[in-house]
Structure 1
Amino acid sequence: MLPETPSTAAAPDPVDPGSLLARLIAIDSVNPDLVAGGAGESVIADFCGEWLAARGFEAHRLEKRPGRPSLVAIARGTGGGRSLMLNGHLDTVGLAGYDGDPLDPQVRDGKMFGRGAFDMKGGIAAMMVAAARATAGGPLRGDVILACVADEEHGSFGTEEVLESFTADAAIVAEPSHLEVTLAHKGFAWFDVEIEGRAAHGSRPELGIDAIAKAGHFLVALEELGRYLALRPAHPLLGTGTVHASVIHGGQEPSTYPARCHVTLERRTVPGESADGVERELTAVLERIAGTVPDFYYRLTRGLHREPFEADPEALVVRTLTRHAHEVLGRPPVVRAEPFWTDCALLDRAGIPCLLFGVDGAGAHAATEYVDLASLDRLTDILTGTIADFCS
Structure 2
Amino acid sequence: MLPETPDDPARLLARLISIDSVNPDLVPGGAGESVIADFCGAWLAARGFEIHSLDKRSGRPSLVAIAHGTGGGRTLMLNGHLDTVSLADYDGDPLDPRIRDGRMYGRGAFDMKGGIAAMMVAAARATAHGRLRGDVLLACVADEEYGSSGTEEVLESFTADAAIVTEPSHLEVTLAHKGFAWFDVEIEGRAAHGSRPELGIDAIAKAGHFLVALENLGRRLAEGPAHPLLGTGTVHASVIHGGEEPSTYPAHCRITLERRTVPGESADSVERELTAVLDDLTTTVPDFRYRLTRGVHRDPFEADTEADVVRTLTHHAEQVLGHPPVVRAEPFWTDCALLDRAGIPCLLFGADGEGAHAATEYIDLASLDRLTDILTATITDFCS
- TM-score (normalizing by structure 2): 0.98
**Equivalent residue letter for 2:240:** I
Whether contact under 8 Å (1:14, 1:129) holds in the other structure is no
Code of the residue aligned with 1:184 in structure 2: it is: A
Percent of aligned positions that are identical: 86
Look up the SS of the partner of 2:66 in the other structure: strand
Q: Which residue of 2 aligns with 1:146?
A: 138
Which residue identity does 1:160 align to in structure 2? E
Q: Does 2:17 match 1:17?
A: no
Distance 2:5 2:153 in 1: 30
SS of 2:182's equivalent in the other structure is: strand
Residue 292 of structure 1 deviates from its aligned partner by 1.0
Q: CA deviation at 1:97?
A: 1.1
Residue 28 in 1 paired to residue 7 in 2?
no
Residue 241 (structure 1) aligned to one of 230, 233, 237: 233
Pick closer, same or farther for the CA change 1:14–1:139 going to 2, 3 Å. farther
1:323 equivalent in alignment to 2:318: no
- What SS is found at the alignment partner of 1:130? helix
Say which of 281, 284, 304 aligns to 1:289. 281
- Deviation by residue 1:163-212 (Cα, 9 ceiling, x = unmatched): 00000000000000000000000000000000000111111100000000
CA distance in 2, matches of 1:138, 1:214: 67
Query: What is aligned with 2:170?
Result: 178
Aligned pairs for 1:253-264 (under 5 A) are 253-264=245-256
Inter-partner Cα distance in structure 2 for 1:226 and 1:69: 39
Structure 2 counterpart of 1:85 = 77
Instruction: Say which of 21, 24, 43 aligns to 2:35.
Output: 43
Residue 149 of structure 2 corresponds to residue 157 of structure 1: yes
Return the match for 2:128 from 133, 136, 160.
136
Aligned to 1:9: none
User: How far did residue 253 of structure 1 move?
Assistant: 1.2
Quickly say closer, same or farther: Cα 1:52–1:139, change in 2 above 3 A.
Answer: farther
Aligned to 1:307: 299
CA distance in 2, matches of 1:187, 1:298: 25
Large movers: runs of 4+ above 3 Å: none
Counterpart mapping for 1:1-392 below 5 A? 14-392=6-384
Per-residue displacement from partner, 1:256-315 (whole Å, max 9, x unpaired)? 110110000000000000000000000010000001111111000000000000001110
Instruction: State the alpha-carbon separation in 2 of the partners of residues 309 and 27 from structure 1.
Output: 31
Q: CA deviation at 1:13?
A: 7.0
Aligned length: 381
Q: Is the 8 A contact 2:172 2:325 kept in 1?
A: yes
Q: Aligned partner of 1:43: which letter?
A: V
Task: Name the CA distance, whole Å, in 2 between partners of 1:94 and 1:332.
Answer: 36
Mapped contact 1:320–1:386 kept (Cα < 8 A): yes
Flag structure 1 segments of 5+ consecutive residues without an equivalent: 1-11
Deviation at 1:254, TM superposition (A): 1.1
Does the residue aligned with 1:355 lie in a helix, a strand or coil?
Answer: strand
Rounded to whole Å, the distance in 2 between the matches of 1:370 and 1:329 is 21
Q: CA deviation at 1:224?
A: 0.5
Q: Do the aligned partners of 1:198 and 1:209 also contact (CA within 8 Å) in 2?
A: yes
Contact persistence 1:75–1:139 (CA under 8 A): no
2-structure distance, mates of 1:48, 1:22: 13
SS in 2 for 1:221: helix
Counterpart residue identity of residue 240, structure 1: T
